Amino acid sequence: MTPIRPLSADQLYRPCRADQLGFRTTEELERLELPCGQTRALEALDFATGIRNDGFNLFVLGPAGAGKREWVQRFLERKAEAQQRPSDWAYIYNFDAPDQPRALALPAGAGRRLKRDVDELTDELRNSIPATFESDEYQSRIQELQQAANRRHREAIEQIQHEAEEQGIALLTTPSGFTFAPKKEGEVLSAEEFQKLPEEERNAIEQRVEQLQEKLQQSIQQLPQIQRELRQQVRELNEEMVLVAAGTPIRNLKDAYSHIEGVVAHLEAVRKDIIENVDALQGDKHGRHSAMEAVLERYRINLIVDQSAQTGAPVVYEDLPLHQHLVGRIEHYVHQGALMTDFTLIRGGALHRANGGYLILDALRVLQQPMAWESLKRALSAHTVRIQSLERLYGLASTVSLEPEPIPLQLKVALVGDRFLYYLLAAYDPDFLDLFKVQADFEDDLPRTDENQQDYARMLATMAHQDKLRPLTAEAVALIIEQGGRLADDQEKLTAQARMLRDLLVEADHWAARDEAGAIDAAHVERTIEQQRYRAGRVRDRTLELIQRGTVMIATEGEAIAQVNGLSVLQLGDQAFGRPTRITATARAGRGQVLDIEREAKLGGNIHSKGVMILSRYLATRYAREGALSLSASLAFEQSYGGVEGDSASVAELCALVSAIGRAPIRQSLAVTGSVNQHGEVQAVGGVNEKIEGFFEVCRGAGTLDGQGVLLPEANVPHLMLRREVRETVAAGQFHVYPIRHVDQALELLTGLPVGEADAEGGYPEGSLNRRVADRLEAFGRSVRRQSQDDNGEGGGPRTEEGDTSPRGGDDE
């Protein structure tokens, strides 16, 4: 097998040359309007905003921290600038059904003018109507009507009185009303005098009085009719007077808004209502809830959407998507201990404000709020916004409320979330894909081409400008581009994590301010990276301390059988670090089982268990093609007390197991990472930079940087972006990074023995590692066969079992 050559220092990192960027500071660069390297997502956005069919709303998916919402909002704002402003919307009083306010659509910007004009109208009516009724003209005409009514009544009484006088009878007024009394010689007769009259004369007088009383009664009965006629005349006068006060301003408003049918109809309804409520408008000035104020309040315009400040279609981002923040709400006030409301307390929601444009929502936040998701779906399905409170939706309402007329809805909704949430909704919500037919999938990273590096620099310049930071020098930008490759774990990629880059710029600007520098340079960026690593490094440093003190046993020199240094990565917040882990194996005669101790202890995950199964099948295929594998083995991660997941240690586990079987010592100066398949090929794994640096720090802390190194999959070489101190140590020949394609290469490097190729008969060369393993397995087979014979009564006597290679000795199974 061809010897494996370690990688050179140049292969461990891809630098960015500042002199090739073409600028001195980012002040020279144009701002970046759209994200670089996101062609797929931008085309999806363009498609979704261009198609007008139902259901083509957006779900913007991608990694957290990629700046999806900001880029989407910027894209939509550019689109919206070229679109028409949508209508204003207002609620007005419904004179036919007061509990069902009417929705009124108005041309963009007209709502504010109408509201102002109607407010001025009500203010004018508040003053002019009472003034009209207090005028001399009105009082004079009222007096005339009253005098006319009184005169009619008086004339009727006087006529009866005159008739009575002619018949010698007087009409007297008493506290209880009118009465008749006979007269003689101009004097009213007393009762005694009346009784002294002849009977015939008395009867005649009584008959005349009875006739006069009937006429008087008829006159008195006409009095209510006269009063009714007076009230009708007063009402007609009031209507005439109120129209004098209100007719002209209402007519002027109707003329001004004659092109808006709904406004004209509302003003006509206001005019009729003024006439019907003329009594309440005559001067009650005792506050908002007085009769006059209650009537005037009905004429107001409740403007819930005002597009007067818009230059195009609205783009609305609702950061707290509660149910009431989406569909609107109805507020209440307390009156005499009860909750009351009216149409002026209707408040619009984000759907109202975004109507005719675009609404951006955080998908997870919508799902976290009660009824918000259902309300959003209902609005999109029905193409209307219906304002309903949560208590009414749940059937818990006991207060007076309203049922406002639904408003037609025409908009695009862009939900922003991660991929997992998108797939969950697509799988479990049957309405989701009908309403959100377009997915805009943002890339986690972008190709590191010369063009994208230039766009990356423009993106950094844009961020610095937006956050009012100092400009960056070309050297600082070059270092951030390199850090972008590190964050992407790829020499050919740049991270799209806008949040991390923005945080990096803000911190670098802080250090530049401390140095009183006019621009952010490479030293400030480097200091920021080191400070971020230092602040998040307590667990890492504690782990290194435990290894250096021997509490956690990791050997970085010498040799050991059935023991290898594996590598793992711990992710803590936004920082990750690698650490070595001792992996050990035992092997003895058995019947082909490989025990995964992590799995048995319920510490191993499914992927790790799969890796152990794969390597056990590889062993069986290589060394027991024609028969059973006479092996009982175990694998363990020593001093690992948490969960173990992933298959990136399967190469190390296989090497430890082969060492245990063949009793071949393994170099402890090397650590291994990589996944193995059933054919022994080494597959790429994640976190290679952190793993290499983790083992490097352990070796440096132990003072053993003299030929140590790491074996990693050859497929991971393009992912290397190692820190400077590692590269310098590699360049000095004190630390090595070996790329491997097959597990045999790892075994040769670790054991120093040739693996050996099988001949035509399946045998291996003398002195090769495979020969040692095959011999040991053959010995295990003989031991198993003897045991089987003894169990069947074909042998007897004491037996010494051969082949136990447990480092701890004895049978641990």
**Any idea which residues carry the catalytic annotation?**
648, 691
> Chain centroid to CA 179: how far?
89
Give the count of beta carbons closer than 10 Å to the beta carbon of residue 791. Answer: 9
Q: What tokens were used for 568? A: 């793992």
Q: What tokens were used for 492? A: 């050919």
Output the DSSP codes for 102-130: EEEEE-TTHHHHHHHHHHHHHHHHHHHHH
DSSP label of 19: G
Give the count of beta carbons closer than 10 Å to the beta carbon of residue 40. Answer: 13
CA angle 26, 30, 36 (to 5 degrees): 95
Give the count of beta carbons closer than 10 Å to the beta carbon of residue 809. Answer: 9
Long-range CB contact pairs, 767-772, < 8 A, 24+: 769/658, 769/662, 769/664, 770/622, 770/623, 772/662, 772/663, 772/664
Burial class (CB in 10 A: 0-12, 13-18, 19+), 499: middle
Euclidean distance between the first and the last CA atom of the chain, given in angstroms as a whole number: 37
CA-to-CA distance for 787 and 141, rounded, in angstroms?
Answer: 131
Q: What tokens were used for 36? A: 């670089």
SS3 per-residue string spanning 220-235: HHHHHHHHHHHHHHHH
8 A C-beta contact, residue 257 and residue 114: yes
> Chain centroid to CA 506: how far?
25
Which of 201, 154, 158, 155 shows the shortest CA–CA distance to 182?
A: 201
Pairing mode, if any, of strands 675-676 and 735-740?
unpaired
Which of 468, 380, 430 shows the shortest CA–CA distance to 58?
A: 380
Q: What tokens were used for 196? A: 């002294």
> Chain centroid to CA 777: how far?
60
